[in-house]
Structure 1
Amino acid sequence: MLRCEGPFARPGQKIGLLGGSFDPAHDGHVHITRAALTRFGLDRVWWLVSPGNPLKKRGPAPMHDRLIAARAAMQHPRVEVTDIEARLGMRYTAQTIAALQDRYVGVRFVWLMGADNLAQFHLWQDWQTIMARVPVGVLARPGDRISARMSKAARMYPEARLIGRQAALLGDMEAPAWSFVNLPMNQSSSTAIRNAGGWGAGAVVDRQPPR
């Protein structure tokens, strides 16, 4: 097994990476994580609680608080909440993926995102490098299905898309490969929780932010 300043993994395992500030984590994150395990045929999912989101002006709550809340919200034997990005000194997804692939040789990583992020994916630093390095699993969130399907990323990689039952093969595919799956809607939002004062006062229950 491999351990590189983070979770254990075995060569050959298919591991989904769900990155974000998780400020705070909520049942929407849990919803798409459980779906990703089954819909994309993953062995495990790691939540990458980021040090901060480069595309947001407002800084997140302290890492310690976000990790505690995330671990309380996401309790599943095949899901691990980790601060490996902070440990590796990474803030951008492309850098994080490259670092993980270097350290976990033989592990098959899949980047996970909400459909809202696919609509903005072309704004991420080195986003085409991400597409070239790992398969990408996209999970529908409220109100973003049409914009995601019409996004620049979707239009640039039409032949790399896995449709229907092909989604279960995502972890076995060589990049570029991506799949978009529709899920029952979950309206939970970190922004709404913060605006309602439910975060910072002991609550454990944002969409995944652009990275």
Structure 2
Amino acid sequence: MAKIGILGGTFHPIHNGHLYIAKQALAAFGFDELWILPAGLPPHKMVEGHISRVQRLKICEAAIADEPAMRIIPDEIFKTSTSYTYETLQAFHVAYPQHQFSFIIGEDSLNSFDSWVHPEIICQLADIVVAVRNDKNQDYHSLEARTKELSKKYGGTFSIIPSENMPISSTMLRKMLAEGADVSMYMPKLAYEYIKEHRLYQVTMEDDLKLRKEIQEDLKNNLKKSRYEHTLGVMYTACSLAMRYQYSMTKARFAGLLHDWAKYLSDEEQLAYCKKHHIEITPAEEQAPYLLHAKIGAYVARKRYGIDDEDVCHAILVHTTGVPNMNLLDKILFTADYIEPNRKDAPRLEDIRMMAFENLDTAVLMILEDSIKYIEDTKRPMDPTTMDTYEYYKTHSYKE
């Protein structure tokens, strides 16, 4: 028989305070495992913000990656109906009849325990552990009286575990993240890195349908039919990769739409456009002016269409050559440009398409390998950034 502690919550997002309570409970009660149970639709609070359930789950998984005694249990998070603790515990007893469960709650939950659905069933199926703030003003006498009252009323076992009064909350973190603040001191390292990579909890650009239609109309009027179809293919492929890697589809959509905006311009016209608008031209771009369409696309996104999102503009800027240590949207657009459905003549194309949805870094490396070979075989000038990017991903990706 295993002793299992369960810590439930919305974890929106999970933070060091949650993990502190989990570790205190593990040490105090000798649990064999501590289960982290993210809620899907909790009965007592709304889950606000543009964060999917999968993203909350991924943040939790990252948070406990270095905690061998902890497990993420996803049973509640994908439920379409409201999650009730008594139902979850009933399901656990059916699935794990040999386990002994303890359910960890906070002081607020202790005070509102009578309002929970079927508290009597909860007490039959699990011991209740109450994490309370170790505060000099804490009224332990009242807390103990409350636990005795509930124990007598519902027949359960209630235990109190003191915890440090950490000045941290998920609400506070959401506000700080929206303001662009560094919250690394409040969260496990890998969880914070996941949030930063996926640009979560930030004020993100809205999907402006009117602007999107305006851009598409401009592209349709200016680009060749084949280039326009390629652009739409890149947009839809970028959206698919964004869904796969839990990234903003809106950002991916606009990056895909605008990446080849300047392709209707000749080499001479691109050089002239950059000189007119004071866009820097490198020696490599002087030799291969077609590379300038990326810089012009990023410039047009800002100046013509008012898109000032740094991620979108940067992805457009580097989508041809790549850049070492690309961010997630950079890699999404770089890859979508290569694998979109209208492309037919690239080597290893089907393999790269499959790899793009398995391991994006490896797909990027494969694209760079084949692109460099093509440039060398055709004796075209190569931007040094392409080789720098290849050298980076040669040591930072893994091919099976």
Post-superposition offset of 1:187: 2.0
Matches within 5 A, 1:15-26: 15-26=4-15
Matches within 5 A, 1:14-93: 14-59=3-48, 61-74=51-64, 75-86=66-77, 91-93=83-85
> What residue identity is the alignment partner of 1:69?
I
Aligned-pair Cα RMSD in Å:
3.1
Q: Which runs of 5+ in 1 are unaligned?
A: 1-11, 161-174, 206-211
> Aligned to 1:37, what secondary structure does the other structure show?
helix
Counterpart CA distance in 2 for 1:81 and 1:202 is 26
Post-superposition offset of 1:154: 4.4
Change (3 A) 1:197 1:88: closer
> What residue identity is the alignment partner of 2:59?
A
Counterpart CA distance in 1 for 2:179 and 2:109 is 23
Identity of aligned pairs, percent? 27
Structure (1 or 2) with the larger CA radius of gyration? 2
Matches within 5 A, 1:170-209: 176-197=156-177, 204-205=191-192
Post-superposition offset of 1:44: 0.4
Structure (1/2) with the larger strand percentage: 1
Post-superposition offset of 1:153: 5.2
Matches within 5 A, 1:53-202: 53-59=42-48, 61-74=51-64, 75-86=66-77, 91-141=83-133, 145-146=138-139, 149=143, 154-157=148-151, 176-197=156-177
> Aligned to 1:84, what secondary structure does the other structure show?
coil
Counterpart CA distance in 1 for 2:10 and 2:84 is 12
Structure (1/2) with the larger helix percentage: 2
What's the TM-score, normalizing by structure 1?
0.73
Task: Give CA-to-partner distance per residue, 1:78-113, whole Å, 9 cap, x none.
Answer: 101121224566710000001110111111111111
Counterpart CA distance in 2 for 1:42 and 1:159 is 26
Post-superposition offset of 1:197: 3.0
CA contact (8 A) 1:115 1:140 kept: yes
> What residue identity is the alignment partner of 2:29?
F
Counterpart CA distance in 2 for 1:107 and 1:30 is 22
Counterpart CA distance in 1 for 2:58 and 2:181 is 13
Q: Give the aligned partner of residue 3 of structure 1.
A: none
> What residue identity is the alignment partner of 1:64?
V
